[in-house]
Amino acid sequence: MEITKTKFIFLGAIIIFILLGYLIYYYGFNPTVSVRGTVKVWGFDDESIYKYSTFVKDFNGKYPNITIQYTQKSPQNYEQELLNALAGGQGPDIFPVYHTWVPNYQDKIASLPSSLMSLKEYNDTFVDVVIQDFVADGNIWALPLYVDNLALYWNKDFFNAAGIAQPPATWDKFLEAVKTLTVRSPDGNIVQAGATLGTGANVDYASDILSLLMLQNGTTMVDPRTSKLVFNNIQTEGGADYSPGEDALRFYTDFANPQKGVYTWNSLMDNSMDAFLAGRAAMTINYSSAVSEISQKAPYLNFAIAPMPQIKEGGVAVNYADYWGEAVGAASKNQQAAWFFVLWRAGSDVQKNYLQLIKKPASRRDAVTWQKDDPALGVFASQSLSARSWLQFDHVAISDTFTQMIDSVVAGQATTGEALDRAVNQLNALVQQKGQSFKLSIPGLPSGL
């Protein structure tokens, strides 16, 4: 009887010991339970996505001691509001950073610990432009939830009427289509534009479109050694000198030059998207967000989306990216918890559900695989694999300068060469004023130049 009682006590002690050990591990060493705190998140998504979708509830199921507090912000004046909050010590733990901001924000954001995601894993997970933009000095500074890019919107009714079966895949074919699709009144006024290109102020994303043309044409945008903008540089090929940046600017502004055969647009016309919505333009270039705008404002418009034209078919495609990433504040007291949530949102299953809610193209390679067949987003998803960007010390200043550069040529105030040189000089003066330098440290990848 004593032996049985002793065994019972011994076995009970072992069970209690094992149970205590498990509880100590689970609550003391298991990060999903031991990490706790309230994570303040800023973003542009509607608050209903956080309130009613399952990804926050699922996150809390895995991390029960982390509370997510979301605040919706407007993109308008967002950066100034963010900088004021960070300067006052009231900044959020997680906030969006534009894909060109990393050079200016490395003192304001925390790098992702390699124990949570290695550079190799990051490189294998996301499309190339993300590594180009968000990896600097050997560190990961943000995670993207999507990667948008420019694509060609075309009016199928106009193409059908003109006997054009397919949208143009190259710029040469684009020029031919513009000539065919442009309709003029008896007095020579344009009543139907072949495309909404050529000017700056009344063309959505004119700066981005010109940047795309420059990159496609092989323009070096920034000298990585000096951080100076050099998109006016002269290059030599086959013994002849030429400026790929100037050629791109001339190509773009020719669409607004009455002396050119491709003249189809001018500064007196409506905004580019408004013209397309109203059936006064056969083609326009825009991001994926235009899909919902067309659906809301012109639900019966017979349009389709095609890949961006390239210089030649069968070559290496070059597309232009536009997106935001999720960053963690350097001053955050909940960095580990914040990174857990950022990584959760960027995970494969969560991102798939999230992309279906916000209707944006994928940033993850595995998400491109399923999204490329989507009728609205498939083109954008496929193009994210070939999307590029370039290092911009101040996106707003560059956009404004590019717009002014374009319009000065169209107005006859400067030649393409003069306008290009003036823009480079103005922007380099700003670079010098800011004392900005850029460093991207992933060998073997394009550095956004």
Give me the pLDDT at residue 387, please: 98
Mean pLDDT value of segment 96-109: 94
- Kindly state whether residues 79 and 226 are assigned to the same domain: no
In terms of Cβ atoms closer than 10 Å to its own Cβ (0-12, 13-18, 19+), residue 253 is buried
Do 44 and 73 meet the contact criterion of CB atoms below 8 Å apart?
A: yes
- Kindly state whether residues 189 and 220 are assigned to the same domain: yes
The answer as to whether 174 is a domain residue is yes
What is residue 255's DSSP assignment? G
Give me the pLDDT at residue 236, please: 86
pLDDT-derived band at 17 (thresholds 50, 70, 90) equals: low
Q: Is the pTM of this model over 0.85?
A: yes
pLDDT-derived band at 115 (thresholds 50, 70, 90) equals: very high
- Kindly state whether residues 227 and 373 are assigned to the same domain: no
Residue 278: which domain range?
Answer: 150-321+390-434
Give me the pLDDT at residue 442, please: 36
Give me the pLDDT at residue 24, please: 46
The answer as to whether 24 is a domain residue is no
In terms of Cβ atoms closer than 10 Å to its own Cβ (0-12, 13-18, 19+), residue 413 is exposed
Mean pLDDT value of segment 260-284: 98
In terms of Cβ atoms closer than 10 Å to its own Cβ (0-12, 13-18, 19+), residue 58 is middle
Sign of the four-CA dihedral 44, 346, 51, 353: positive
Give me the pLDDT at residue 329, please: 98
- Among the ranges given (44-53, 226-235, 328-337), the one the predictor scored with the smallest mean pLDDT: 44-53
- Kindly state whether residues 217 and 306 are assigned to the same domain: yes
Q: Which value, to the nearest 10 degrees, does the dihedral of the CA atoms of residues 140, 146, 151, 157 take?
A: 180
- Kindly state whether residues 175 and 309 are assigned to the same domain: yes
- Kindly state whether residues 158 and 299 are assigned to the same domain: yes
Crossing angle of the two packed helices 206-216 and 244-253, in degrees rounded to 10: 130
Tell me the pLDDT of the chain averaged across its residues: 91
Residue carrying structure tokens 């050529």:
198
Mean pLDDT value of segment 9-37: 59
pLDDT above 90 for 366: yes
The CA distance from 376 to 381, in Å, is: 10
**How many structural domains are present in the chain?**
2
Give me the pLDDT at residue 393, please: 86
pLDDT above 80 for 20: no
The answer as to whether 441 is a domain residue is no
CATH number of residue 49's parent domain: 3.40.190.10
The CA distance from 40 to 279, in Å, is: 45
- Kindly state whether residues 228 and 261 are assigned to the same domain: yes
